[in-house]
A and B are shown apart, each in its own frame.
Chain A
Amino acid sequence: MTVMEQRGAYKPAPPPAWQPRTDPAPLLPDTEPHRVLGTEAAAKADPALLRTLYTQLVRGRRYNAQATALTKQGRLAVYPSSTGQEACEVAAALALKEQDWLFPSYRDTLAVVARGVDPVEALTLLRGDWHTGYDPYEHRVAPLSTPLATQLPHAVGLAHAARLKGDDVVALAMVGDGGTSEGDFHEALNFAAVWQAPVVFLVQNNGFAISVPLAKQTAAPSLAHKAVGYGMPGRLVDGNDAAAVHEVLSDAVRRARAGGGPTLVEAITYRVDAHTNADDATRYRGSAEVDAWRDHDPILLLERELTERGLIDDAGIAAAREEAETFAAGLRERMNQDPVLDPMDLFTHVYAEPTPQLREQRDQLRAELEAEQEGTQG
């Protein structure tokens, strides 16, 4: 048979039937944010967990106030407060096991502290005596990430590496609503889903990216809906309901640990303070809006639940506040001490071994400092 004859006989086969790779229905978030406090579900919540969350929230609120005060005293260069968002911060830390990893953004120092990092070390970046003040391996907390969403692919890579090694490790990565517009958010979620990496993404939707409201950030039905496009489940939770955030994150962490892959959690919350102490929030929002959220405050919600169910009394509330005061006083005292600086540190950790060029520059600075010293003495 000639080639032409073969071609004549050729009949194209019909294209293979198309079908979706994943059924999107189970991935869709609920239409209402998940709530526990003030609902029937609260009765099933572990009282000990609720009390722990309460103590941590009260302490976290006091920590935010103390850190903001430290900016006014010149002890911190800047502080991005998480006042109003303490439920997310605390629940993120408590949802993890010892061996797990936390990947915080710059607003998440409270989560870092709740994970066990020394608050002075957690605040080093914002004090300005170094970038990362803690050893990331001590509590398995990655450095605070300032470039938005860039920490998310790190969490995916770490979780993937741990799974390749057969280790039981989950990574929880934190990002804000503004960060979901970044390309790294998209790439991280895509890699996580393709690799089925044991990662949980927690988006704290606090309403604003500095001054820009969510309506200018996205046209998605919700940020949790974005998960469906990657083939992972999206969960929506009331970010001021500490019990609900803890439950949703714990479920997602458990799912990741069991090999079920990543989850995207959107926690609806509100940034009560300005973006940082250097920001003026009155330029982009009214006080009525802020006041409305004060009625849905995470501490208020939990305190009401605990009180109504007789799980805490006035003495218990006073004890939590006292503990928070002691914590803040200790932090204040330590932050009021000047950090010890060694300018030679500038050159020590750029490379494992300084390059010849850096050695020259180090010698130059050393000579300048010695001359300065002599000048002072003379």
Chain B
Amino acid sequence: MTTVAVKPATMAQALTRALRDAMAADPAVHVMGEDVGTLGGVFRITDGLAEEFGEDRCTDTPLAEAGILGTAVGMAMYGLRPVVEMQFDAFAYPAFEQLVSHVAKMRNRTRGKMPLPITIRVPYGGGIGGVEHHSDSSEAYYMATPGLHVVTPATVADAYGLLRASIASDDPVVFLEPKRLYWSKDSWNPDEPTQVEPIGRAVVRRTGRSATLITYGPSVQVCLEAAEAARAEGWDLEVVDLRSLVPFDDETVCASVRRTGRAVVVHESGGFGGPGGEIAARITERCFHHLEAPVLRVAGFDVPYPPPMLERHHLPGVDRILDAVARLQWEAES
């Protein structure tokens, strides 16, 4: 009997492996985008794919996001399964019309005759010291568009599993990659592909009894750190990693909130019109009588994403999360 050594791997490596395995498993899978071929992508996620599968399967496209997604639509119409890379969150906006008017709607427009199995990979979020237009959290736009799935991993294993599930999905998936986690490491054995539940299941990353932190993507790690720090204050915090914003896992979220009676939603995206508002409303509609306090939000400020030297003031951090937890009306209990 041999034991496989489980070595630390980065999220970037897991994503590359997921693309490679998907391309090997299904010749219909085509990777396309800016610099994804020879260079292997600006984050090197497509490293080696053009070499292994040829430039027809991993294609450097002209620099035009609407054209990239628009041609991917045509390729999907013909039975291919394109995986599109948008180089940065804010560079995906030119493709928005194709995404909203065609990618999201084609199945519905054609009564199911013309599904578009396209995965749109978008590196998103801040915390990497990027200059403007390189750090947006654009998930609220995608969430507000019926017909899209919106998925974001927070761990190395999920990066692999969720990307495989997204590519395998017959529906279009906006796959948001937390770029500041690209180089985060975790024990993960690439030769034992991670089993993932279907897209749409949240997971409890840390169990606790005092309150629930509901979060996703880049903020999961911050929430776990906050939960550790909260022990000193006597709070035992539960952390729910949503993994998928659409479909939304009401069941897991509400089960947790019913247990703890208190909830804080944490994300980098702005608070006004952001995902937290929807999540807070869903919890209130479903768990009102279990709540000991209003659902609070810790979000990025409602400002254009700051320049890198100011971004630490913008991003939700441990202190801001603990401040919110402190405001969950604990006095009433004593």
| B220: min CB distance to chain A, Å | 22
Give the residue name and chain of the A residue nearest to B149 (CB). Answer: A351
State which of B72, B111, B247 has its C-beta within 8 Å of the C-beta of A345: B111
* A155 adjacent to B74 (CB under 8 Å): yes
- A355 partner residues in chain B, CB cutoff 8 A: 200, 246-248
Shortest distance from the beta carbon of A339 to any chain B beta carbon, whole Å: 13
In the docked arrangement, what's the CA distance between A190 and B62, Å? 8
Complex-state Cα separation, A171 to B67, whole angstroms? 16
The answer to whether A132 and B74 touch across the interface, beta carbons within 8 angstroms, is no
Complex contacts, B70 vs chain A, CB 8 Å:
150, 152-154, 156-157, 184, 187-188
Contacts A153-B70, A164-B56, A188-B67; A349 near B111 (Cβ below 8 A): yes
- Would you give the shortest CB distance from A116 to chain B, in whole angstroms? 16
Bound Cα distance A156, B61 (Å): 13
Which of A11-19, A66-74, A135-143 has 4 or more CB atoms under 8 Å from chain B?
A135-143
A160 at the interface (CB under 8 A from B): yes
Residue from A143, A155, A165 having most chain B Cβ neighbours under 10 A: A143
- Is B230 part of the binding interface, using a Cβ–Cβ cutoff of 8 Å? no
Binary B-proximity of A136-174 (CB < 8 A = 1, otherwise 0): 110000110001001011111111111011000001000
- Are A357's CB and B247's CB within 8 A? yes
Q: Nearest chain A CB to B279's CB is how many angstroms away? A: 12
- Determine if B71 and A349 form an interchain contact, defined as CB atoms under 8 angstroms apart: no
- Please, how many angstroms separate the alpha-carbon atoms of A82 and B281 in the complex? 49
CB atoms of A150 and B112 under 8 A apart:
no
**B95 → A minimal CB distance (Å):** 10
Task: Determine which residue in B109, B110, B146 has the highest number of CB atoms from chain A within 10 A of its CB, and name it.
Answer: B110
Asked if residues A349 and B107 are in contact (CB atoms below 8 Å), the reply is yes
A348 at the interface (CB under 8 A from B): yes
Interface residue? B87 (CB, 8 A): no
Of the candidates B66, B109, B247, which one forms a contact with A153 in the assembled complex, judged by CB atoms under 8 Å apart?
B66
Most A CB contacts (10 A, CB to CB) among B71, B79, B108, B113 go to B71
Q: How many A residues face the partner with a CB closer than 8 A?
A: 40
With both chains docked as a complex, state the minimum distance between the C-beta of B259 and any C-beta of chain A, in angstroms.
20
The answer to whether B248 touches A357 (Cβ under 8 A) is yes
Contact with B along A162-204 (1 / 0, CB 8 A): 1011000001000000000001100110110010000000000
Contact of A161 among B80, B98, B110, B246 (CB under 8 A): B80
B171 partner, pick from A130, A154, A352, A356, beta carbons under 8 A: A352
Residue from B73, B77, B107, B247 with most neighbouring chain A CB atoms (10 Å): B77
Q: List B29-87 residues whose CB lies under 8 Å from chain A.
A: 56, 61-62, 64, 66-67, 69-80
Residues of B within 8 A of A171 (CB): 74
Chain B nearest Cβ from A364, distance in angstroms: 13
Q: State whether the Cβ of B123 lies closer than 8 Å to any Cβ in chain A.
A: no
Minimum distance in angstroms from B112 CB to a CB of chain A = 4
Q: Tell whether, in the assembled complex, residue B115 and residue A352 are in contact, meaning their CB atoms are under 8 Å apart.
A: yes
The reply to whether A158 and B112 form a contact with Cβ atoms under 8 Å apart is no
Contact pattern, A 66-105, Cβ under 8 Å of B = 1, otherwise 0: 0000000000000000000000000000000000000000
Contact A351 B97 (CB under 8 A): no
User: What is the minimal beta-carbon distance from B91 to any residue of chain A, in angstroms?
Assistant: 14
- The residues of A that contact B76 with a CB separation of less than 8 Å are 157
Query: A156 contacts which chain B residues (CB < 8 A)?
Result: 70-71, 74
Residues of A within 8 Å of B169, CB to CB, are: 352
- CB of B206 to closest CB in A, whole Å: 24
* A136 engages B113 (CB within 8 Å): yes
Are B107's CB and A157's CB within 8 A?
no
- Report if B101 contacts A (CB, 8 A): yes
| Given A152-B70, A184-B66, also A158-B109 (CB < 8 A) | no
- Please state if A132 and B73 are interface contacts (CB–CB under 8 Å): no
- When the two chains form their complex, are residues B72 and A157 in contact, meaning their CB atoms are under 8 A apart? yes
Q: How many angstroms between the C-alpha atoms of A299 and B247 in the bound complex?
A: 54
A1 at the interface (CB under 8 A from B): no
> Which residues of B approach A to under 8 Å, CB–CB?
56, 61-62, 64, 66-67, 69-80, 94, 97-98, 101-102, 105-115, 146-147, 149, 169-171, 200, 246-248, 250-251
* A residues in contact (CB < 8 Å) with B: 130-132, 135-137, 142-143, 147, 150, 152-162, 164-165, 171, 183-184, 187-188, 190-191, 194, 345, 348-352, 355-357
**New A-B pairs, 19, CB < 8 Å, besides A157-B78, A160-B71, A350-B108:** A131-B105, A150-B97, A150-B101, A153-B66, A153-B73, A153-B74, A153-B98, A154-B70, A154-B74, A156-B71, A161-B79, A164-B56, A187-B67, A190-B64, A349-B110, A350-B147, A351-B149, A356-B251, A357-B247
Q: What are 21 pairs between A and B in contact, CB < 8 Å?
A: A147-B101, A153-B67, A153-B71, A154-B74, A154-B77, A156-B74, A158-B77, A158-B78, A159-B74, A161-B74, A161-B75, A171-B74, A183-B94, A188-B71, A348-B111, A350-B146, A351-B147, A351-B171, A352-B115, A352-B169, A357-B247
